[in-house]
Structure 1
Amino acid sequence: MKMFLAPTVLAAALALAPAAGAQTLPDYYPKEYSQIVEGSKKENKLVIYSIMAEYNWRPVIEGFKKKYPWIDVQTLDLGSGEVFERFYAEKASGARTGDLMINGAVDKWLQFAGRGELLEYESPEAAKVPDWSKPRKGIYSVSADPMVIVYNKALIPEAQAPKSLADLVKMTSAAPAKYKNKITTYNAGTEAFGLAINWAYVKKNGDKAWDQFAEMAKVVRPEGSAGPMVEKITAGEYMAGYFVSAIVLYPRLNDPARARILGWSFPTDGTPIIIRGMGIPKAATNMNSAKLMLDHIISHEGQVAFGKGGLTPYRADVKDDEVPRYTFSRVAKEAGGEQNLVIVDYDQDIVAKGPEFQAKWKKVFGQN
């Protein structure tokens, strides 16, 4: 039997039903946030300059599109230096720039903010995330990703597997000829990403860190990015690497053959944690869409999504069983406690003293 609603009942039902794409915002969001949502409907494609791959982004964009189906999103996977170089070049030529920037290079972010390019946006999610994840006004963190030790289990027996940089120093200094050019790490002398990691490690460990670097320099061949490091460790060209990006390692461990070869650990004498900075340029074309994406990324839902995409969520309300790999709290636990983590913070001194640090690093590692 067919049933029909009276016109007045039908009208009431339609009024109560949510419109397509309508949003139910968290109760702690300000009322005027709806203006940002409405403003985004008048904008074009959201363009994001980042240092993450498509597979990292996929779960995040899927969730974002469910909230804001009218916003098209384009992400570009660029190098650490290229993110800002591209922005500056485009702005200088009057071309459209990226709407949202994501990068782990501390000195580049500080220079960007110092030039007055950064929008000092106050996110309604700001109170929900830790203070260290908001290093400067307008800069938020996408994730808190650990730098780990990786080794080839066929070349280094499990019983001798290094659990710290001190272990690596002890192992390689006992047989420097055996390990010469067989250990790798980021090139801090030329790469902003490597500079930030090494700067923070030295800041925590002082002269002891430089002593360790001096020993490692006898056997290290640096690389510019983590992808080649992991591939060459897998192939046996390198026996091990330190300060290797875990988010590059994790996806490869899904392959059972690689998982049998690759061993890894969180360095117990200091696991560097890269906080991937995120901010909106004042020159952004699609400012409202950029704000919506930034807020989505640091929300609980966005953090879980990036966890599923292979990054490390840092919000305290993200539980271990919500993501396939690690949360920040679990990393801290397995590293022996937060005291063993080295947060790569936004130390203003790196802008002025970074070149001097890099020159010293090059000298120690014989690159002069």
Structure 2
Amino acid sequence: MIRAAFIALTALLLLVAPARAQELTRAFGPEAATGLLRLRSTTDISVLGPVIEAFLARRPGLRIAYEQWGSNALYGLQSADCAAGRAGADLVISSAVHQMVDLVNEGCARPYRSALTAALPDALIWRDELWGVTREPAVMVYNRDLVAAAQVPHSRFDLLDLLRPTESPFRGRVATYDIERSGLGFLFAFADSMEATTFGGLMESFGRSGAIATCCSAEIIDGVAEGRYLVAYNVLGSYALVRARHDTRLGVIAPRDYTLVLSRAAMIPAAAGQPRAAAQFVDFLLSPQGRAALEAAGLVVRLEGEDGAALELGGAVETLQRPIALTPALLIALDAHKRALFGARWRDAFPAPPPKAP
């Protein structure tokens, strides 16, 4: 009851507050198509676009209206649509999978089962309503021109060592996601806190060394390439690897102590107007043709060494993969009390800058 009331309040606030526009939109497919699938996602249009085009190649009667959203805004919008019983998106794909698990938990999704969804491992399917459709590691990115080979951090312990000296050249030049602006950033940081004995030390070192918490994969990767940051921590590896293959300034490390692996979650909303087309797109993403398209787009990353030149495994066989499973355990990350405690700890490490004088 409390949670239902919270969703209703969220919907009301979204209706009375200024509307939050999606970041970008784009239409795919012929204008004369008789069917229209509305897809909302946190994935950059430039990244997912070729995958959508591959799906539509044999579907001349279908058109896809793509909306690119930030993860927190997308979560709020889908919560509001669900509470109002409103048909908004026909398919939602988000990297903030803890938020997607919550939407499913609140009855905001409709079930679908096929031979392809049933073949997914247990960690990548929940209640036949949520499916993991990509494979993307959380990595460290560094500037090859400015970081000497002996200083390249191959693990979290190495990163701690770089930040420890008082006169470290890495002071103020390490970046990561701002967890209060990025749902994905919060997910990675929370997963670290549950997984790593180094998490407390990293938070303390980030705070002491003036590390930067900022928004968005592209902004962080740009900062490393341009030399404003020397190292970035917990960056989404799919985006980093695509950039690194075309920019020799960038090195990408899968940490040898462990590497978090994210699968973006797909969900068909309960009120979807085109559930059949949405289900076809889910099946395509899980099919051999879809996997090939996702891999070409950088959204399926192999950690076994096949990515060779671009991905440095920091120890190859020593790298331990930690998939983020689509399970109710992720709801812990949305518990209000735990979020408040975690947020306070984060703000201790990344205090807000003082306001500028008028």
Decide: shared fold, TM above 0.5: yes
Matches within 5 A, 1:175-194: 175-176=166-167, 178-194=169-185
Match of 1:304 in 2: 292
Q: Is the 8 A contact 2:253 2:312 kept in 1?
A: no
Matched, 1:279 2:267: yes
In structure 2, the residue matched to 1:341 is 321
The match for 1:251 is: 242
Which is worse superposed, 298-307 or 171-180?
Answer: 171-180
**2:78: which partner in 1?**
87
Number of residue pairs matched?
314
2:282 match = 294
CA distance in 1, matches of 2:269, 2:108: 6
| 2:350 maps to 1:365 | yes
**1:218-247 superposed Cα distances (whole Å, 9 cap, x missing partner):** 221111211111111111111111111122
Q: Equivalences for 1:1-368 in 2 at 5 Å? A: 44-89=35-80, 96-176=87-167, 178-206=169-197, 208-219=198-209, 220-255=211-246, 258-259=247-248, 261-312=249-300, 325=307, 336-337=316-317, 340-346=320-326, 347=329, 348-352=331-335, 353-367=338-352
Helix, strand or coil: the match of 1:125? helix
Q: Distance in 1 between matches of 2:109 and 2:312?
A: 31
Task: Name the structure where strand makes up a greater proportion of residues.
Answer: 2
Q: Distance in 1 between matches of 2:128 and 2:340?
A: 25
1:285-311, Cα deviation, whole Å (9 max, x unpaired): 111101111111112211111111121
Change (3 A) 1:57 1:178: closer
| Identity value in percent | 22
What TM-score does the superposition give when structure 1 sets the normalisation length? 0.76
Question: Is residue 150–residue 242 contact of structure 1 (8 Å, CA) maintained in 2?
Answer: yes
Instruction: Provide structure 1 residue ranges, at least 5 long, that are not aligned to the other structure.
Output: 1-41
Q: What TM-score comes out, normalization by structure 2 length? A: 0.78
Contact 1:196 1:344 in 2 (8 A): no
Aligned equivalents of 1:144 and 1:56: distance in 2? 14
CA distance in 1, matches of 2:234, 2:207: 14
Which runs of 5 or more structure 2 residues have no equivalent in the other structure?
Answer: 1-32, 354-358
Change beyond 3 A, Cα 1:225–1:343: same
**Contact 2:256-2:318 within 8 A present in 1 as well:** no
Residue 338 and residue 354 in structure 1: after superposition, are their counterparts in 2 closer, same or farther (change >3 A)? Answer: farther
Q: 1:337 to 1:285 in 2, by over 3 A?
A: farther
Call closer, same or farther: CA 1:248–1:366 in 2, change over 3 Å.
same
Asked whether the 8 Å contact 2:91–2:268 carries over to 1, the reply is yes
Letter in structure 2 aligned against 1:340: L
- Letter of the structure 2 residue corresponding to residue 366 of structure 1: P
1:85-129: CA deviations, max 9, x gaps? 233445667764010001121331132123211112223212332
RMSD between aligned alpha carbons? 2.9
